[in-house]
Structure 1
Amino acid sequence: MTMSSLERILTTISHKEPDRVPLILNPTMHPARDMGIPLKKYFTSSELVAQGLIATREKFGTDAYIGFHYSPVEYEAFGGEVIFREDGPPNSGRPIIRTGDEIDTLTAPVVEETECLQVVLDMIKTLKKDAPDDAPIFGVAISPLSLPVMQMGFEDYIRLIYSDEIRFNRLIEVNKRFFMDWATAQIEAGASGIIYYDPVSSPTIIPPELYRKTGLKIAKELIPKVPGPVVTGFASASVLPILDNVLSTGTVGVAVWGGGHEKLSEIKQKCAGKATVIGNLNGIEMRHWTREKTFSIVKQVISDAAPGGGFILSDNHGEIPLQVPDEVLFAIRDAVYEYGRYPISV
């Protein structure tokens, strides 16, 4: 029996086998290219992004909508400048926090009064209303530990973590209040769940012992309070050394890198019955894949992680580069349809 996307996702996160492996692809910039619209015009229009997400789902056969415009939208909400370009995603401009005094006076933006956030919420509402089916919509919120990389700049933020505990804690408290308001607003607008985007917590960025003192405590406090399911993502950074801790936060899924020494099969084994594994196609390498190589990689990933359910095929970062050809994305879809039907027999 063929399932709907919603049935397929719900069955998967229940750690049962659906009809086939769910597929989530998020080529955020491709719709603007297809429409012939500059990225700035596209991303600042709730209607255009909603149209783009619906078109992407129809084009590539994905099983969910990612209600995402660009990563710096939360930094922008705090007063930061976003730098748009035509060959890549928007980036944050100069840090908005340059002195300790600015942390002392920092306040969280009011979601209802912040234009850039309202654009995202309007997009989710439009998507909920206009989408032709009941495929899940996932909102995105950056963790309070990771947002300061844009607010302060990476080097100054790492220095703050180690040198000024009082101001670090104050910054985290402001970001925690904002996170809860922002995540809740997206759920209320129609999102089915939230992606908790937390790359700084990865062992790629900070030592696991520091994560357990900071990011872990923050996640264990906030994730259970979100009025909907939460998936944790690390933006193509490693996770295996802290995976047991991540599973204790209440997250229903973990978006993983699975590269280098981190075997996807080992990650799946640790997560089995606890959290859905999401990943782990390399979006950067994807730019150069042939159809044959795409089929080979997808086949191996499905073999490693799909048996028994609890696995969603996706990229390893959450945003596919504009330079990835449509032909590769079509090949990913076709390979999932060929190798991802349960029972898995690759």
Structure 2
Amino acid sequence: MTPLEILSSATTGSPAPRIPVFCNMPDHGARELGMPAKQYFSKGEYVADGQLRMLRRYGYDNIWSLHYVGKEAELLGCREILFADDGVPNVADFVIKNLDDIAKLEIPADITQHPAWQPIADSLRILRSEIGATHPICAYATASTTLPAILMGMDKWMELFLLGPFDVRDELLRKCSDFSQQEIAALRALGASVLIYSTPFGSPYFVSRKQIEQIVMPWMRRDLLPGGSENLIYYCGMAPFNDVIDLIFDELHITNHYISPLADIAEAKRLINTRGLTCGAIDDIKMIHWSAEQTRAEVKRIVEIGKTGSHFLFGNGVMPLAVPEANIQAMVDAAFEYGRLA
């Protein structure tokens, strides 16, 4: 079976020889090609090449089209990204510097015509051509309720979200939701077969359950209204969200859940059961200091809890560049070994 077929089997619960094994390393391609990060992310061809090389090196199942989260801010007017060769690119120029800027914010009529979209499109076309028929191609889309954090900074967004003025907050959320709808549709059209729907504000770790029910869920429903929830994975940036899994099923109809390493994986598997896909993630921050043996032991623990009854995927968060290569390979090898189903 191909990795894409194995993922489909895990999602539906049909027989397969093993569980899917994901490894998420969007920032490692520059090192793989021996390029500065700024140069690497400047062209979709470089990103696709780096991702394909790492897929061959480590042998996991999925591949990433994500450049960096700040790319979404660039599509909305960010003029400067801070690149670092030992870390994640980050927004250095907030689009929204004061509340008056929210009224001035304009969502492009077609984000695919924006120059900042071209590298994303180029990388996805290459990946679809090279391995689209055999491997899951992952893309990343930020939920409307989280997108303002990269447009104005987390502190200012939390203040606006919680304290208002609420008409201004909702104006911003409407514009962000319009963007989210476009982005999800464009990524699907380019061949992304797995969409990571990133919604830290959909976790009780950030806001209360009541706020999730009353504020966050309605906007996320709007994000997903045009194309539905097929092939989406609910992801809260490694924040735990077991307490709202049933709510996600009921309100968003998302059946694939990327469980935080801070959450109880056994409880998550019990809650999701055979209704959808439980994605168990290792704490790859701790992997920086673990030995290969410690890494293997943690993979074994997660997989043995999750694979019972199938409907399970093993993965990591966003692998830090500081994690030793030996630990990455140990993680992947152990997931294949312990993830056998037949």
Would the TM-score normalized by the shorter structure come out above 0.5? yes
- Structure 2, unmatched stretches of 5+, are none
Partner AA of 2:260 in structure 1:
W
Cα deviations across residues 13-70 of structure 1 (Å, max 9, x unaligned)? 1133421111110122222112211111111210011111111212112112222111
- Asked if 1:43 is matched to 2:41, the reply is yes
Partner AA of 1:282 in structure 2:
D
* Contact 2:261–2:283 (8 Å) recurs in 1: no
* Greater alpha carbon shift after TM alignment, 247-256 vs 225-234: 225-234
Work out the CA distance in 2 between the residues paired with 1:37 and 1:106.
34
Partner AA of 1:59 in structure 2:
R
- Asked if 1:257 is matched to 2:260, the reply is yes
Cα deviations across residues 114-155 of structure 1 (Å, max 9, x unaligned)? 112221111101111123852121221100000101111111
Work out the CA distance in 1 between the residues paired with 2:164 and 2:282.
37
* Contact 1:220–1:250 (8 Å) recurs in 2: no
* Greater alpha carbon shift after TM alignment, 216-225 vs 37-46: 216-225
Counterpart in the other structure of 2:154: 154
How many equivalent residue pairs? Answer: 337
Partner AA of 1:46 in structure 2:
G
Counterpart in the other structure of 1:76: 74
* Greater alpha carbon shift after TM alignment, 115-124 vs 131-140: 131-140
Show the 5 A alignment for 1:1-346: 3-80=1-78, 81-109=80-108, 110-131=110-131, 134-161=134-161, 162-226=163-227, 228-248=230-250, 249-259=252-262, 262-315=263-316, 317=317, 319-343=318-342
Distance apart, 1:306 and its partner CA: 1.2
SS in 1 for 2:310: coil
TM-score normalised per structure 1: 0.93
* Contact 1:111–1:118 (8 Å) recurs in 2: no
Cα distance change on mapping 1:220 and 1:17 into 2, 3 Å? farther
Work out the CA distance in 1 between the residues paired with 2:273 and 2:15.
12
Distance apart, 1:277 and its partner CA: 1.3
SS in 2 for 1:194: strand
* Contact 2:142–2:180 (8 Å) recurs in 1: yes
Work out the CA distance in 1 between the residues paired with 2:225 and 2:330.
37
Work out the CA distance in 2 between the residues paired with 1:274 and 1:108.
36
Work out the CA distance in 2 between the residues paired with 1:132 and 1:222.
26
CA RMSD of aligned residues (A): 1.6
* Greater alpha carbon shift after TM alignment, 180-189 vs 92-101: 92-101
Partner AA of 2:238 in structure 1:
S
Displaced runs of 4 or more, over 6 A: none
* Contact 2:71–2:116 (8 Å) recurs in 1: yes
Work out the CA distance in 1 between the residues paired with 2:68 and 2:153.
18
Work out the CA distance in 1 between the residues paired with 2:287 and 2:312.
20
* Contact 1:21–1:341 (8 Å) recurs in 2: yes
Work out the CA distance in 1 between the residues paired with 2:35 and 2:243.
42
* Contact 1:224–1:250 (8 Å) recurs in 2: no
SS in 2 for 1:278: strand
SS in 2 for 1:138: strand
Work out the CA distance in 1 between the residues paired with 2:239 and 2:67.
21
* Contact 1:23–1:313 (8 Å) recurs in 2: yes
Distance apart, 1:224 and its partner CA: 4.8
SS in 1 for 2:308: coil
* Contact 2:22–2:314 (8 Å) recurs in 1: yes
SS in 2 for 1:135: coil
